[in-house]
Each structure stands twice: as structure tokens, then as C-alpha cells.
Amino acid sequence: MYRAFFDRVLTRTDPERAHHGAFRAIRAARPVTRLRRTPGEAVSALGLTFPNALGLAAGFDKNAVGIDGLGALGFGHVEVGTVTGEAQPGNPAPRLFRLPEDRAVVNRMGFNNDGAEAVAQRLKARGRRPGPVLGVNIGKSKVVPEDEAVRDYEKSARLLAPYADYLVVNVSSPNTPGLRNLQAVEKLEPILTSVQRIAALDDRRVPLLVKIAPDLADEDVLGVADLALAVGLDGIIATNTTISREGLRTPSARVEEVGAGGLSGRPLAGRALEVMRLLRTRVGPDLCLVGVGGITTVQDARDRLEAGATLLQGYTAFVYEGPLWPRRIIEGVSA
């Protein structure tokens, strides 16, 4: 039913408008669905207990307004954000595009969010409660120059760490100018060590992960892996969206019409799987690796786990497959 609704109705609706409408429905349905048992088996990672292995990737709930409704759909963790130190509107619309032939999405949202102070106040009001594990993904504000990035990440970490179960440093979105330059080890290390210091709260230590792009060369992926081990990072999320447009079924004229932005969905699965294997081989068995990018079917999820993922995340498949998708994946993997 959802597939038919998507193909006949949602594909004729502006993607960003459809997202906001669907999200309002999820939030409104939370009181009805909250008593449903979270599917799957618990996973121990990052010193935390995740109700199951599948989480919702950052980007869907940018401002931490629907955590519990999303958890009620079956997600074992919800990663909010990307949140920046300064509130920002993001890039001009249109900035979100579907490629249905590829079950893919292109976005150039530009980290539109309410800013770290507003999101921190929202999380404080929500309080700590049972439900999905809460991750908070932080990125660089567009107005902050690259040489002041450490300060900007520190601001977000200081405000948000008290309310997060884990933090993620995002240096891999293609939609903030210069952001991916921060994946270079010499620029990434001071950001990670500074945020890591702030995340060591008086009453607990908040685990810290970094999210990387699939477009890194293999040697750079391994460099990030080595850095993670050297600084005592808790995990790596692999991968973010890609700037590649290779191998798409969508006609090239349509791809050119859509323009720049990060591509997510099925076309990303192959490279994301390769990166996962590279990372696990390099870091050994203990570091938490979160597999994201192109996971659509139960077999996709199994492949990522077999490649070394500790946890999984999805987003684009959730858009295409609908609200029952997380439970189908978790129950299929458990079976």
C-alpha cells in the first residue's frame, strides 16, 4: 500500500514538503504506537545497550523534534542533526530531489537547523527517558571559517553533550563549502581531541564517533581508521552521501537537471560495503563501526553486518519503503 501511495502521490509532491508532512504524521502517531514492542535483539556497543541494531541516520530529524515517534516505528537509535553551532537556514530551495529509478535521493540541504542552543533546550525539556538511544550529530556552521572550525565544534559539543547518548563529528557532508577538507587527518585530529575533551562530562563520558564520506580514497579511509585508534575514538560511521553519479539508471539529462548535492540510497551500497570491510580489517574487532549507505533489503543489512558493522543506519530506504521498513529489516536480520 505504501509503495503504491509513494509512486502515485508522493512522487508528484515536492520532496521537502512531503518530508515535513510525513514527519508530522509520525509525531502525531507516537501516542498510538509507543506501546509496541521494539523488534529485534539488543546490541551492546559504545558502553550502551541498543534495543536493536538499526537506527535512523542523521538528516531526518534535524532539530530533535520527533525522537520518540521515530523510536516507536522500531528504530533502536535515532541520530538527530546535523546540528551546527549557529542556527542556519541551509541552501535555497529546491534542495531535495528523488531519483526513483535508482531508489535514491540527492540533497543539498546545507545543514538547515535551529542551532545548538535551541536544540539543547529542546533536549533538556524532553529529559532522559526510555526509548531509542539518542545520537547527536554536529557539523560546522557555514558562516564560520575553516580555521575556526575547532571552536565551532566545541560550542556544539559543550551545549549538546549533556543530553546525548553519543556524539558524532560530521566532516563529510558535501553541502557545506570546505567541510570535507576537514577529513584530512591533520585537520581532523584537533577537532576530535577537542570534542572528546568536552564530551568527558563530570558524571559520565559521552562516546564520540566520526562520520566519513564514501568518496575518500582507500588510503585516506585507512588514515582515518588509524587516527581513530590513536586518539581513542569510540567509533566510525561509514558512510555519508556521495558526490559520484556513476552507474545510475536515471537518465543523464535528469541527473544534470538535479545538479549538485549528496547522493544517497541504493547506488551507494557497493562503495559503503567496501569502506566497511576496509575499516574493520584496519581497526580490529572491538571498535564500533556503524554501517550506513544504501541499506534497503534484509540482505543488504546482513551483508553490512558480515562485513564488520556493529550497528546499522538507514534513511533513504525509509523514505521509499515506508513506516514498516525498520521493523521488516530488524525482524528479517533477527530471523
What positions carry a catalytic annotation? 173
DSSP string, 255-308: HHHH-SSEEEEGGGHHHHHHHHHHHHHHH-SSSEEEEESS--SHHHHHHHHHTT
DSSP 8-state assignment for residue 224: H
Residue appearing with cell numbers 536493536: 52
SS3 115: coil
Q: Do the Cβ atoms of 112 and 89 come closer than 8 Å?
A: yes
All three cell numbers of 264, joined, read 544517497
Q: Do the Cβ atoms of 178 and 147 come closer than 8 Å?
A: no
Rounded CA separation 209/287 (Å): 10
Which residues, including other chains, have CB under 8 Å from residue 55's CB and lie 6 or more apart? Answer: 75, 76, 77, 78, 79, 132, 133, 135, 290, 311, 312, 313, 314
- Burial of residue 269 (CB within 10 Å: 0-12, 13-18, 19+) is middle
Residue appearing with cell numbers 557555514: 142
- Burial of residue 320 (CB within 10 Å: 0-12, 13-18, 19+) is buried
Run of H or E residues at 182: none
Neighbour count for residue 220 (Cβ, 10 Å): 15
Rounded CA separation 123/61 (Å): 13
